[in-house]
C-alpha cells in the first residue's frame, strides 16, 4: 500500500517566516544575511557586502548575527506549524553557506510557540538605562538553561565585578578614540537618512542618557529629550554569552543562543541590549574573560532590565525589503 506523501511547506510560509526572522539583531543593524529558497528547502548565507569592516574585521559578529537570524527563523516557522532541521556549514567549499534548512510538520502549535514568535516583534535593542529586573532569582536560571550547551554558556557578571566591566568598556572606547575609519563607520550607520538599515536617531541616546549607562558602545549622541529621568543609573544585570572555542560553528551557535536569550527575556517583560564592543578588542575581551573564568571565550554581552514606561521604549528599527534578502528559485526537476 502506498504511503501518503508528507506535506511540504509552501513558499509563502517560508517568505513570511524569513521576513519575521529578519527582525533579528545585527551589528549596527547591518543585516548581513541572505536567504535562498528552493522548493521546501531554505539556505542561509552570510552576505559579505554587508560586513561592517572596521568593527568586524574577522567576520565573527557577522556569524553571531546570522546565528540570531537562524534561531529567529526556527521560532517563526514553529509558530506557523513547522519544525526546522538545520545542517550547519553544509558546503566546506563555500564559507558563506552557513546553513541548509528543511522542514517537517509539527503535531501541535502551542501558545508558547505563538508568544515566542510575537516576542520577535516586541523586542528592541534599548540603549537607555534600565531599572533592576524584578524576580531575577527566577529569571536567571531560566536564561541559563536556554543558553548552556556544548557550544556556549551563560555567565552573569557579579555586582562587585561591574566596575571592572565598566573599565573594560571605557578601555575599548579609549583604544578607538583616534580610529578614523571606525568612527566614520559609526557615523555612516547612524546617519539617519536610511529607511531600511542602520540605527535611526530615535534609537540612540543623548549625552545625559549615555552618562547613566556605564557599559555601552558610544554612538554619536542625539538631541533627544532626557528619557527615564527616574532611573538615575543603569541597574541592569549583564550577561556574558561565551564559547569554549572560537570555531565558526561555535560562534554561529552562540548567535542562536543569543536569539533565545533575547526572546525569553522579552517574553518575561524585560528590556534588552546586546553589547559587542567589549569583545571586539583583545585587551577588553580578556578582562571580561577574567571576570567569568578563563576557560571560556566571551562573544557577546547582554544588558537585561526593566523599562519603567512603555512611552520610553524605542521604536522598531528599519529592515531591508524582503526581496533584497530572499531569493526564491524554481524547484529542481
Q: What are 86-141's pLDDT values in tens digits? A: 999 999 999 999 999 999 999 999 999 999 999 999 999 999 999 999 999 999 99
- Strand segments, DSSP code E, in the chain are 33-38, 41-46, 82-88, 97-105, 152-156, 237-243, 271-275, 297-305, 326-329
pLDDT at 202: 84
CB 204 within 8 A of CB 188: no
DSSP secondary structure letter of residue 58: T
Question: Is the pLDDT reported for residue 36 higher than 60?
Answer: yes
Question: Is the pLDDT reported for residue 264 higher than 50?
Answer: yes
C-alpha dihedral, 116 to 119 to 121 to 123, nearest 10°: -140
How far is Cα 181 from Cα 160, in angstroms, rounded to an integer? Answer: 35
pLDDT at 332: 56
Q: How confident is the model at residue 3 (pLDDT cuts 50, 70, 90)?
A: low
Q: Average pLDDT of 30-49?
A: 95
How far is Cα 76 from Cα 72, in angstroms, rounded to an integer? Answer: 6
DSSP secondary structure letter of residue 156: E
Question: Is the pLDDT reported for residue 152 higher than 90?
Answer: yes
- Ordered structural domains, the chain, with CATH: 11-123+317-329 (3.40.109.10), 136-312 (3.40.109.10)
The contacts of residue 55 (CB under 8 Å, 6+ apart) are: 27, 28, 61, 182, 185, 280
Question: Is the pLDDT reported for residue 5 higher than 90?
Answer: no
pLDDT at 167: 95
Q: CA neighbours within 13 Å on the CB side: how many for 280?
A: 24
**Strand 82-88, strand 97-105: pairing:** antiparallel
Burial of residue 60 (number of CB atoms within 10 Å: 0-12, 13-18, 19+): buried
pLDDT at 333: 41
Dump pLDDT digits (tens) for 180-222: 999 999 998 998 656 788 998 888 999 999 999 999 999 988 8
Q: Average pLDDT of 143-172?
A: 95
Question: Is the pLDDT reported for residue 240 higher than 60?
Answer: yes
Q: What is the pTM of this model?
A: 0.95
pLDDT at 163: 96
How far is Cα 119 from Cα 305, in angstroms, rounded to an integer? Answer: 16
**Strand 97-105, strand 237-243: pairing:** unpaired
How far is Cα 186 from Cα 28, in angstroms, rounded to an integer? Answer: 8
**pLDDT > 70: what percent of the chain?**
97
Question: Is the pLDDT reported for residue 309 higher than 90?
Answer: no
Amino acid at each position: 500500500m502506498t504511503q501518503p506523501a508528507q506535506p511540504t511547506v509552501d513558499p509563502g510560509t517560508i517568505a513570511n517566516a524569513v521576513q519575521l526572522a529578519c527582525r533579528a539583531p545585527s551589528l549596527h543593524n547591518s543585516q548581513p544575511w541572505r536567504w535562498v529558497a528552493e522548493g521546501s528547502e531554505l539556505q542561509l548565507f552570510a552576505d559579505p557586502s554587508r560586513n561592517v569592516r572596521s568593527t568586524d574585521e574577522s567576520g565573527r559578529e557577522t556569524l553571531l548575527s546570522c546565528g540570531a537570524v537562524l534561531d529567529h527563523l526556527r521560532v517563526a516557522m514553529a509558530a506557523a506549524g513547522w519544525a526546522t532541521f538545520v545542517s550547519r556549514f553544509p558546503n566546506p567549499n563555500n564559507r558563506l553557506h552557513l546553513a541548509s534548512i528543511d522542514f517537517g510538520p509539527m503535531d501541535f502549535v502551542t501558545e508558547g510557540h505563538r508568544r515566542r514568535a510575537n516576542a520577535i516583534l516586541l523586542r528592541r535593542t534599548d540603549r537607555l538605562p534600565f531599572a533592576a529586573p524584578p524576580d531575577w532569582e527566577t529569571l536567571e536560571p531560566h536564561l541559563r538553561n536556554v543558553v548552556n550547551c556544548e557550544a556556549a554558556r551563560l555567565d552573569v557578571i557579579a555586582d562587585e565585578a561591574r566596575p571592572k566591566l565598566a573599565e573594560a568598556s571605557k578601555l575599548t572606547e579609549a583604544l578607538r578614540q583616534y580610529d578614523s575609519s571606525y568612527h566614520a563607520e559609526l557615523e555612516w550607520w547612524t546617519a539617519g537618512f536610511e529607511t531600511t538599515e542602520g540605527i535611526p536617531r530615535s534609537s540612540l541616546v543623548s549625552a545625559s542618557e549615555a552618562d547613566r549607562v556605564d557599559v555601552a558602545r558610544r554612538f554619536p549622541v542625539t538631541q533627544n529629550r532626557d528619557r527615564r529621568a527616574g532611573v538615575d543609573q543603569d541597574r541592569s544585570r549583564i550577561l556574558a554569552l561565551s564559547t569554549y572555542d572560537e570555531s565558526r560553528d561555535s560562534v554561529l551557535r552562540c548567535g542562536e543562543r543569543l536569539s533565545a536569550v533575547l526572546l525569553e527575556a522579552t517574553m518575561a517583560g524585560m528590556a534588552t541590549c546586546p553589547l559587542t564592543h567589549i569583545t571586539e578588542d583583545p585587551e577588553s575581551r580578556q578582562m571580561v574573560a577574567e571576570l567569568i573564568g578563563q576557560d571560556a571565550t566571551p562573544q557577546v554581552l547582554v544588558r537585561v532590565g526593566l523599562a519603567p514606561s512603555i512611552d520610553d521604549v524605542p521604536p522598531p528599527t528599519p529592515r531591508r525589503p524582503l526581496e533584497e534578502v530572499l531569493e526564491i528559485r524554481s524547484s529542481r526537476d
